[in-house]
């Protein structure tokens, strides 16, 4: 059973209550704080503190500060009155259970509303971003069409200028022929003999302009030939990939957590204590924590749970920084009904499985499920439900955990019979 904390101090003003709760070794990562309008609970295994408040508070604006083996609460009252006591006087077990269930339901409704509001805001942001992108694409398309129109007009002007230059050249060639014909007519009129006409060569087909020739097509073909780019030169491109230790893609927001996790794993592999005298009589393979872990797994598979615990104990003595050793030993304690030890080992595994990264997600989920199972077998269903909900946050699609969490909710709400394996 958890150790209930009864030592605390509190002060109040007409608007707020200031509660000081001492807890040895408390930290932000391990302490589970739940605050409702009329119910306050702190779960820091193996310590448990809960109080049923004298009057309702504003749980949305109330604050909790954790540090220096102390939790300081600032609870803002809904009505500015002085309280006679911190907790509600004369509360029986049924009233306590009803207040707990009501607080959990209110917290779930608020979380659902916050999730829906977040989803609505996300949809609005996506709709706004889509509108902005469509506007940018429309402007870009209009810009390209304007550039094409300008190029077409420029090509048309150049073509008209070229046609005009051709017409001027034809006019210049026709003027000398007319003058020559006029001089020949004047000589005939005066009776001058005509100069002997030389035999004229037939003009080649390449020189004479062909009738019906489309000069515009010639110009467009020339432009087309000039616009053809030169062939590309062949080459090779060398591509190197950065080695990746995790199965998921690299994200800048998780670089620090992944580096910290890899550093802790490297330290755990180096933290061997085989040079102590108590391990001198062990065989070489028995000094390897990984070998002992595999041996414990095989013993667990054959339902020899006590021997598996001994194997995990020796591995932890050799190296106390491997979280899977505590996680597997917690499974053995569950089978042996050592529920408090199962809770301690699961909590120790969660402490070592930090920071939370994709590589240890499955282990964190198992730790929450095993600790939640131990809580439920101790009839601490609220604490067990919190662990199952934490496991669902890691793996929302796990139907087994979803069904178990729903059974625990039914037990808490009194709609199902209590049953234990």
CB 295 within 8 A of CB 325: no
15-24, 143-152, 206-215, range with greatest mean pLDDT: 143-152
Q: Return the ∠ at Cα 52 (arms to 47 and 58), rounded to 5°.
A: 105
pLDDT of 145 strictly over 50 = yes
pLDDT of 284 strictly over 50 = yes
Place 373 in a pLDDT band, splitting at 50, 70 and 90: very high
Would you state the pLDDT for residue 226? 58
Torsion, CA 132, CA 135, CA 136, CA 139, rounded to 10: -160
Place 179 in a pLDDT band, splitting at 50, 70 and 90: low
Q: Which residues sit opposite 42 in a β-bridge?
A: 33, 49
47-56, 247-256, 290-299, range with greatest mean pLDDT: 290-299
Q: Is 74 helix (H, G, I), strand (E, B) or coil?
A: strand
Which has the minimum average pLDDT: 39-48, 73-82, 115-124, 246-255?
246-255
Q: How far apart are CA 234 and CA 152, in angstroms?
A: 34
Dump pLDDT digits (tens) for 223-258: 555 566 677 777 788 887 777 666 667 677 776 777
Q: Is 34 helix (H, G, I), strand (E, B) or coil?
A: strand
Residue range 34-52: average pLDDT?
81
Residue range 145-151: average pLDDT?
91
Torsion, CA 18, CA 20, CA 21, CA 26, rounded to 10: 110
Would you state the pLDDT for residue 297? 93
Dump pLDDT digits (tens) for 194-225: 555 544 544 444 444 444 445 555 555 555 55
Would you state the pLDDT for residue 419? 46
Higher pLDDT, 129 or 279: 129
Would you state the pLDDT for residue 206? 43
Share of the chain above pLDDT 70, in %: 75
Residue bearing tokens 């958890």? 2
pLDDT of 68 strictly over 80 = no
Q: Map out the domains of the chain with their CATH numbers.
A: 3-81 (2.60.40.790), 255-413 (1.25.40.10)
Long-range contacts of 5-9 (CB under 8 A, 24+ apart): 5/42, 5/47, 5/48, 5/49, 8/49
* CA 255 to the chain's CA centroid: 12
Would you state the pLDDT for residue 319? 84
Place 386 in a pLDDT band, splitting at 50, 70 and 90: very high
Which has the minimum average pLDDT: 174-183, 202-211, 267-276, 286-295?
202-211
User: For residue 342, which of 301, 372, 322 has the smallest C-alpha distance?
Assistant: 372
Residue range 327-347: average pLDDT?
93
Share of the chain above pLDDT 90, in %: 21
Which has the minimum average pLDDT: 226-235, 261-270, 304-313, 408-417?
261-270
Q: How far apart are CA 107 and CA 100, in angstroms?
A: 11
Higher pLDDT, 103 or 301: 301
59-63, 121-125, 249-253, range with greatest mean pLDDT: 121-125
Would you state the pLDDT for residue 190? 64
Rg (the chain; Cα; Å): 44
Higher pLDDT, 223 or 88: 88
Residue bearing tokens 């872990």? 293
Q: How far apart are CA 372 and CA 274, in angstroms?
A: 35
């Amino acid at each position: 059973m958890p150790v209930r904390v009864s030592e605390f101090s509190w002060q109040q003003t007409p608007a707020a209550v200031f509660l000081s709760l001492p807890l040895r070794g408390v930290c932000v990562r391990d302490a589970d704080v739940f605050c409702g309008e009329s119910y306050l609970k702190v779960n820091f295994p193996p310590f448990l503190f809960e109080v049923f408040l004298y009057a309702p508070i504003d749980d949305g604006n109330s604050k909790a500060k954790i540090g220096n083996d102390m939790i300081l609460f600032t609870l803002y009252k809904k009505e500015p009155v002085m309280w006679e006591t911190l907790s509600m006087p004369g509360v029986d077990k049924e009233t306590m259970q009803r207040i707990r269930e009501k607080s959990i339901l209110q917290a779930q409704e608020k979380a659902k509303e916050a999730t829906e509001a977040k989803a609505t805001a996300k949809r609005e942001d996506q709709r706004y971003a889509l509108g902005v992108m469509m506007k940018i694409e429309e402007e870009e398309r209009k810009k390209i069409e304007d550039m094409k129109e300008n190029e077409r007009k420029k090509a048309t002007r150049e073509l008209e200028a070229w046609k005009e230059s051709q017409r001027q050249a034809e006019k210049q060639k026709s003027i000398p022929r007319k003058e020559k014909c006029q001089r020949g007519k004047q000589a005939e009129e005066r009776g001058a003999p005509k100069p002997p006409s030389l035999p004229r060569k037939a003009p080649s087909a390449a020189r004479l302009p062909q009738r019906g020739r489309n000069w515009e097509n010639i110009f467009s073909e020339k432009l087309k030939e000039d616009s053809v780019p030169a062939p590309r030169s062949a080459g090779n491109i060398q591509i190197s990939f950065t080695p990746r230790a995790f199965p998921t893609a690299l994200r800048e927001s998780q670089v620090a957590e992944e580096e910290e996790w890899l550093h802790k794993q490297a330290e755990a592999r180096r933290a061997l204590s085989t040079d102590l005298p108590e391990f001198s009589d062990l065989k070489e393979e028995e000094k390897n924590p990984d070998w002992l872990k595999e041996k414990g797994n095989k013993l667990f598979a054959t339902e020899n749970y006590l021997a598996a615990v001994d194997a995990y104990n020796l591995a932890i003595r050799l190296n106390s920084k491997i979280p899977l050793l505590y996680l597997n030993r917690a499974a053995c304690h569950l089978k042996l009904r050592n529920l408090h030890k199962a809770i301690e080992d699961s909590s120790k595994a969660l402490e070592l499985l930090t920071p939370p990264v994709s590589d240890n997600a499955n282990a964190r989920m198992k730790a929450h499920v095993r600790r939640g199972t131990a809580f439920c077998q101790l009839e601490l269903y609220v604490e067990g439900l919190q662990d199952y909900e934490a496991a669902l946050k890691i793996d929302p699609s796990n139907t087994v955990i979803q069904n178990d969490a729903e059974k625990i909710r039914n037990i808490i709400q009194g709609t199902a019979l209590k049953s234990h394996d």
